[in-house]
Amino acid sequence: MSVPRHLEFFVDPSRCIGCRSCVEACTECDTHRGESMIHLEFVDRGASVQTVPVVCMHCEQPTCAEVCPADAIKRTGDGVVQSARKPRCIACGNCVVACPFGVPELYIDRAIMMKCDMCYDRTSVGKKPMCATVCPSQALFFGTREQIHALRPQSMPTNTFRFGDQVIRTRVNVMVPRRPAAPAQIDVTAAMDERPPSRAVRLPVVGDDADPFAQVEV
Amino acid sequence: MATLPVDDLAITRAFGPHLSARTRGGSAVEPDRLVKTHCCFCGQQCGIQLKVKDNEVIGFEPWEDFPFNRGMLCPKGVKRYLQGSHPDRLVTALARDPSVASGFRPMAYEQAIERAAREIQRIQDKHGPSAVGVLGGASLTTEKTYLLGKFARVCLKTPYIDYNGRLCMVSAGAANKKAFGIDRTTNPWSDMVGTEVIWVAGSNVAECSPITTNYIWQARELGAKVIVQDPRITPIARTCDLYLPIRPGRDAALFAGVLQLMIENGWIDRDFIERETVGFDEVAAYCATWPVARTAEVTGVPERSIRKAAELWGTAKSSFLFHARGIEHHSNGVQNALGTINLVLASGRIGKPKSGYGTIVGQANGQGGREHGQKCDQLPGWRDISNPEHRKYIASVWKIKEADLPGPGVDAYEMFRKIDAGEIKGLIAICFNPKVSLPDNQFVTRALEKLEFFVAIDFFLNDTARHADLVLPGSLHEEDEGTVTQVEGRVIKVNKAVECPGEARQDWRIIQDLAKALGRPHGFTFDGPRAIFDELRVASKGGVADYSGITYEKIERQMGVFWPCPSDDHPGTPRLFEPGSDNPVAKGKGRFYFPDGKARFNVADYRPAVDDVSEEYPLFLTTGRVVSQFLSGTQTRRIGPLIKHYPEPRIELHPRLAEKLGIADGDWATAETRRGAITLRAMVVTTIRPDTIFIPYHWPGDKSANRLTVAAQDPISKIPQYKVCGCRLRPADGPPAYAQEREAQQ
Ligand code: SF4
Ligand code: SF4
Ligand code: SF4
């Protein structure tokens, strides 16, 4: 049993409506009963309703596994990075600190690290991950590359990320806008310095600039 | 004598809301079976499979084959199963008893029914049949709503029945009927994908009808431009192509201004207007009084945005417009809805693939629940209770004399005024929580206290049922079968997954038990929902809402049947008004449901809101939903994981307003209107108009937004004006009293 290679996971934050359906659905999966492995982040609620779902990116060379002193994190042959193996994990938290995407979490009460396993109990038997099935805006999508190309002609999947000198390729794709020119990779560290323009309030209100309420008197 | 038997808090301690958070799902527990059914909450009615083990719903599995949502669910759908086996679930009848700490003592079901019948009989003997009123719910299956309408009119012989759909879709319904002669969304949602422009008017789709987001965004991927009109930057507005930041309550003016620009620029379909409609000239004359400068001034939308909207909408070849409570919850809600319809008719883009118009249903069965007779002026099949022909037909189905059929009653709010005036002395309410959901709800509470006898049927003790003399334990969604009609007009089937616990019963049984105890069982001896549905099919035959060709089997086979469906061999009508389509009103003369087959333009008159902003109350207050809660929260405030998302209502306000008032994010702030004041925490966000504040309405008591809202109603639809009233805001004097008792729960 494995997750077929032609089925991939796509994350499109521009579609996320912050409903937390994914978070709730994740708690219904078996590997980590009752606990959600998805983090849902409000980028800056004061300025925007933009939210971002964070799932494990299932790196080709997982940093979490590389730093684990107990060799508790395994990557399966089909490219899915698993939660820590229970007998091995010493709950040191190295992986939590090391993961560039901020995914693993330490569960102190159980003394173990747990993270998203791409619903291995489902995906390895031909089902979709719970979160991607329920996501009402399909910000999370599980399917083939052909399907995503047909469904999202304006975006393209990217799975190469640059953190300073480190380049990471992942099994999970992030959808980025195709226009004007989609970057071949996402340079995460470069984006950290500049404060991104407050994208939420930059609505294309005709001719208007940042604030659609600029004219409103209080 | 319907005052609270004991202190509200004591009732809360006994009957909740308590939180159920025990996750029972996962694949480790092997269910006995999976039951294909639908979500019990909003009008999208997502398909879902419930996992059942030992007469308990233990989780869900997505139902990816169901065409509307293909497995997608919002968090309410995911966690709905936690309301089964809930500690607060009513499993016996309850009698009000102030000597008991909780205010209620259990009572044997049979005894309770007999007592209810005795009290109803006593009131009716003394004051006449009309002294008893009935309030229904738009979450009930269509079978139950049909039975309830029949029960009020045939068994109780009272004209006073109405339902909580009054708070939801009636403005849209009235406007649809005036313009098209039929009230239903015109196209299946799949028609949205591939359209050129989508106009979303007053609809926070991401939080109120989440699945629709995927349709809109899929359309956008394929090139559709999206226009959003809303005082808040909702998640759908965040990514739209044109945002119209309208002042609450000014929608009809915007539509008139846009139509005026379309006329000026020749962006209207003269051929269609000429051939298929009547009344355009009056509308054009009215719109001429709305030049763009005036429109901008009244609506608060910049002139260039209005021009852009007119151009995007006017020049498209295909389009989809839909609206929801944002433009309908107004004292001129019907006019607002007519304004959107005028835009659609003027463009001629209706009755074809990829071009449609729709109103988004809020409640589970907002559509079916209003078609078959629990609305005060309607008989089954959307028949008119004042029309002698219609009365005669239904009287023949019900095997009574037409003269014995009562006439039209009054809307749900008016029923409370009649209770207040002492005209209605007895009340039967089923799945309706007006103490939280009606505007100016302190008046509603005072009216409830005047009732001589009040019996509530529900599965949790909701805030209104706390006033009841008698509570009968009804059924949860998964404990019964029946049909509902979802947002697209698709009639679908809810299937039974588990048995009712304890002494709880299916609501149709309770209604029939009451009829029997009253000694008037004639017409109330159905052996189940299927038998009720079969009578409903006959009763709707030949009406506008014709369900006569729909069967349970056809629904399962086709994954839903779109009404109208007038005969056994008819597949149903996914798309209304297609050229050449037939209907029982026009009889071949045209595609719209009027004798001449033509659609109606109606002058959509702008009127300022009742209790608008003023010097004393300078801010607009607007109300609405959050995605994790549903309606008055009777169900969702009992589900732990949902409470965590948004534990308490907050007042959303813009930083500029916050600065002016000296309120910081998280501070306690007091909002006041002419009717009352509530103190909640502030949430400072740039995503709302600086002259407007927003409060979600799902909470009761001291946190109830409807303490503030005004009971002004639309003169035609009688929908209350929830979406705007004058308000003022100030930093609170200190934490509210409830914070000491309940803050710990937050
Ligand atoms: S917490 Fe567990 S899995 Fe993570 S690095 Fe330490 S031992 Fe490895
Ligand atoms: S379910 Fe989808 S839309 Fe909702 S929060 Fe998760 S990713 Fe976002
Ligand atoms: S509440 Fe509405 S959107 Fe959410 S799962 Fe239920 S029917 Fe679907």
Q: A87: cis peptide before it, omega within 30°?
A: no
pLDDT classification of A191: cutoffs 50, 70, 90: low
Whether residue B598 contacts residue B277, with contact meaning beta carbons closer than 8 Å, is answered with yes
Q: Tell me how far the alpha carbon of residue B210 lies from the centroid of ligand 2, in angstroms.
A: 10
pLDDT classification of A187: cutoffs 50, 70, 90: confident
* Tens of pLDDT, residues A33-79: 788 999 998 888 999 999 999 999 999 999 999 999 999 999 999 99
pLDDT classification of B25: cutoffs 50, 70, 90: low
Give the number of other Cβ atoms within 10 Å of residue A195's Cβ: 7
Strands (E), B441-508: 453-458, 470-473, 482-485, 490-494
Mean pLDDT for B468-493 is 97
DSSP element (H, E) containing B431: none
Mean pLDDT for A164-186 is 84
pLDDT classification of A121: cutoffs 50, 70, 90: confident
What is the pLDDT at residue A181?
64
Are the beta carbons of A136 and B73 separated by less than 8 Å?
Answer: yes
Distance CA B70, CA B193 (A): 15
A39 and B CB contact within 8 Å? no
Q: How many DSSP H helices and E strands does chain B contain?
A: 25, 28
Q: A180: cis peptide before it, omega within 30°?
A: yes
B34 and A CB contact within 8 Å? no
Mean pLDDT for B648-664 is 97
What is the pLDDT at residue B26?
64
What is the pLDDT at residue B169?
86
Mean pLDDT for A19-45 is 89
Q: Residue B728: closest CA among chain A residues belongs to which residue?
A: A218
Residue B531 CB contacts under 8 Å (≥ 6 apart), including other chains:
none
Helix (H, G, I), strand (E, B) or coil at A176: strand
**List of chain B residues whose C-beta atoms are within 8 Å of the C-beta of residue A148:** none
Q: Tokens in use for B436?
A: 């939280």
A98 lines ligand 1 (CB under 6 A): no
B47 lines ligand 3 (CB under 6 A): no
What is the pLDDT at residue A195?
56
DSSP element (H, E) containing B604: none
What is the pLDDT at residue A199?
40
Higher pLDDT, A65 or B27: A65
What is the pLDDT at residue B746?
38
Query: In angstroms, what separates the C-alpha of B329 from chain A's closest C-alpha?
Result: 23
**Pairing label, strands B470-473, B453-458:** parallel
* Tens of pLDDT, residues B194-219: 999 999 999 999 999 999 999 999 99
A17 and B CB contact within 8 Å? yes
What is the pLDDT at residue B553?
98
Minimum CA distance residue for ligand 3 atom 7:
B45
What is the pLDDT at residue B170?
92
DSSP element (H, E) containing A80: none
Does position B27 have pLDDT exceeding 80, yes or no? Answer: no
Minimum CA distance residue for ligand 3 atom 8:
B46
Are the beta carbons of B304 and A45 separated by less than 8 Å?
Answer: no
A218 and B CB contact within 8 Å? yes
Does position B745 have pLDDT exceeding 60, yes or no? Answer: no
Distance CA B718, CA B174 (A): 10
B434 lines ligand 3 (CB under 6 A): no
Higher pLDDT, B508 or B165: B508
Place of tokens 């406007």: B175
Are the beta carbons of B23 and A34 separated by less than 8 Å?
Answer: yes
Q: Tell me how far the alpha carbon of residue B663 lies from the centroid of ligand 2, in angstroms.
A: 31
Distance CA B543, CA B556 (A): 24
Rg (CA), chain A: 19
Query: In angstroms, what separates the C-alpha of B265 from chain A's closest C-alpha?
Result: 19
* Tens of pLDDT, residues B502-557: 999 999 999 999 999 999 999 999 999 999 999 999 999 999 999 999 999 999 99
Quick one: what percent of chain B has pLDDT higher than 90?
A: 94
A139 lines ligand 2 (CB under 6 A): yes
What is the pLDDT at residue B22?
75
Does position A208 have pLDDT exceeding 60, yes or no? Answer: no
| Beta bridge partners of residue B688, listed in sequence order | B232
Does position A30 have pLDDT exceeding 90, yes or no? Answer: no
What is the pLDDT at residue B472?
98
A45 and B CB contact within 8 Å? yes
Instruction: For residue A129, give the amino acid letter.
Output: P
Helix (H, G, I), strand (E, B) or coil at B710: coil
What is the pLDDT at residue B433?
94
Does position A180 have pLDDT exceeding 80, yes or no? Answer: no
Alpha helices in B421-477 (DSSP H): 434-437, 441-448
Residue B176 CB contacts under 8 Å (≥ 6 apart), including other chains:
B182, B183, B184, B337, B341, B359
Higher pLDDT, B415 or A178: B415
Average pLDDT, chain A: 87
pLDDT classification of A204: cutoffs 50, 70, 90: very low
What is the pLDDT at residue B330?
94
Does position A179 have pLDDT exceeding 70, yes or no? Answer: no
B640 and A CB contact within 8 Å? no
Mean pLDDT for B225-232 is 97
Does position B322 have pLDDT exceeding 60, yes or no? Answer: yes
**List of chain B residues whose C-beta atoms are within 8 Å of the C-beta of residue A45:** 683, 685
CB pairs under 8 A between A and B: 173
| Beta bridge partners of residue B357, listed in sequence order | B321
Does position A182 have pLDDT exceeding 80, yes or no? Answer: no
A1 and B CB contact within 8 Å? no
Distance CA B475, CA B510 (A): 10
What is the predicted ipTM?
0.95
pLDDT classification of A206: cutoffs 50, 70, 90: very low
| Of A82-96, A170-184, B156-170, B684-698, minimum mean pLDDT range | A170-184
| Beta bridge partners of residue A54, listed in sequence order | A39
Quick one: what percent of chain A has pLDDT higher than 90?
A: 66
B59 and A CB contact within 8 Å? yes
Q: Which of A10, A7, A3 is nearest to A159 (CA)?
A: A10
Q: Which of residues 72-101 of A touch B (CB under 8 A)?
A: none
Q: Tell me the whole-structure pTM to 2 decimals.
A: 0.94
Q: Tell me how far the alpha carbon of residue A112 lies from the centroid of ligand 1, in angstroms.
A: 7
**List of chain B residues whose C-beta atoms are within 8 Å of the C-beta of residue A212:** 233, 243, 245
Average pLDDT, chain B: 95
Q: Residue A154: closest CA among chain B residues belongs to which residue?
A: B221
Does position A99 have pLDDT exceeding 90, yes or no? Answer: yes
Q: Tell me how far the alpha carbon of residue B42 lies from the centroid of ligand 2, in angstroms.
A: 18
Does position B382 have pLDDT exceeding 80, yes or no? Answer: yes
DSSP code, position B501: P
CA dihedral B724, B727, B729, B734 (to 10 degrees): -100
Helix (H, G, I), strand (E, B) or coil at A156: strand
Q: Which of residues 328-387 of B touch A (CB under 8 A)?
A: none
Mean pLDDT for B105-114 is 98
